[in-house]
Amino acid sequence: MATQVHPTAIVEAGAKLGQDVVIGAYAYVGGDVTLGDGCVLHHHATVEGYTQLGPQCEVFPYAFIGGRTQDLKARPGKPGLKVGARNTFREYVSVHLGTQEGEWTILGDDNVLLAYSHIAHDCVIGNHLVISSHSAVAGHVHVGDHVNIGWNAGIHQFCRIGDHAMVAACSKCVQDVPPFVIADGNPCETKMINAVGLKRSGFTDEEIATAKLMHRLFYRDGLNTSQAIEKARALPEASGRVAKAFVDFAASTKRGLA
């Protein structure tokens, strides 16, 4: 299938379109945009700024991808947005560029952003994120792989969310959420291990048990973070991927653990 551009769409001079791209009615593509092979922009979709979409991304009506940051520190320049393959941006989703020249907002592969959700400037998003409607991720947030952010959740700037974590609906996240856990509340607190998500992702029963052990050690045994890290590193499970990921995440936190 050859590239198809509806006659009412606007594709500015300089835009780079891959093979088999489809651009619907009244869609807009800016002059610094690169669309990978097989990208689909539905009617009234907008992709602008210094934005690179990987192959087979889909942008639904009224989504705004590559908008200028809302950060008041922004200055004239050419910050960017890099998006991997097979990402879905539903209606009214907004994803902003980085703040300064040479800075980027980055999304990996296979992410699904549901209607009205927002990814702000300078975020680094991994792979297989599902972010529900009306949720917002503030600037400089780092999100791991296989993360689920529930409806109307808010993630504070500079927070991190670890791999395979879930932030429940309506949560206010102001600290780092470790991998493998479910966080909920206002402000959100780590409640339990994301056992169902881990099972679906192919983790073994032993690895899920290790995740539960890490949760108990950090949240139930009355230890501070430094003490929990020291104790966790001495465990027989310390060399496994679950314990190592949890401990490494905890050791690198700057905002503290939720």
Give the catalytic positions in this structure.
121-122, 139
Please return the burial class of 241, using the count of CB atoms within 10 Å of its CB with bins 0-12, 13-18 and 19+. Answer: exposed
Tokens encoding 73: 């520190």
- DSSP H or E run through 218: helix 205-219
Query: Exposure string (b/e) for 97-124, b if CB count within 10 Å is 16 or more?
Result: bbbbeebbbbbbbbbbbbebbbbbbbbb
What's the maximum distance between 2 C-alpha atoms anywhere in the chain? Answer: 65
CA–CA gap between residue 30 and residue 49 (Å, rounded): 6
Distance set, CA 213 to CA 117, 189, 206, 217 (Å): 34, 17, 10, 6
